Amino acid sequence: MNNRFEDFPYSAEELSAYIFSIDTFVISLKNQEIIRYTTTRPDDFKLWLDHHHIRNVNETLGKMVYNYYFPDRKKTSRKR
């Protein structure tokens, strides 16, 4: 797979992490800059990011929220 995606001005090596919401990717660059990017092909762009092992913050954030609202019952239950 290409190191660059269509009209996206950065190479995969420059990216650190991303989050996707509605129609916009918010991307953290390794130089600590934060950028926004929209494309008519969000599914293809996400596949490109995943192929290059760019960290998906949606997954991490989703797990954090889930764990907060639905803690592991083994940790919270008391043995009788």
Burial 44-63 (b: 16+ CB within 10 A, else e): ebbebbeeeebebbeeeeee
14, 54 contact by CB (below 8 A): no
Task: Decide which of 22 and 65 is more confident.
Answer: 22
What local confidence, expressed as pLDDT, does residue 69 receive?
74
What local confidence, expressed as pLDDT, does residue 63 receive?
73
20, 46 contact by CB (below 8 A): yes
Residue 15 pLDDT exceeds 90: yes
pLDDT digits (tens, 9 = 90+) for 33-80: 999 999 999 999 999 999 999 999 987 776 776 677 777 654 544 454
What local confidence, expressed as pLDDT, does residue 77 receive?
46
Indicate if the alpha-carbon torsion angle 10, 11, 14, 16 is positive or negative: positive
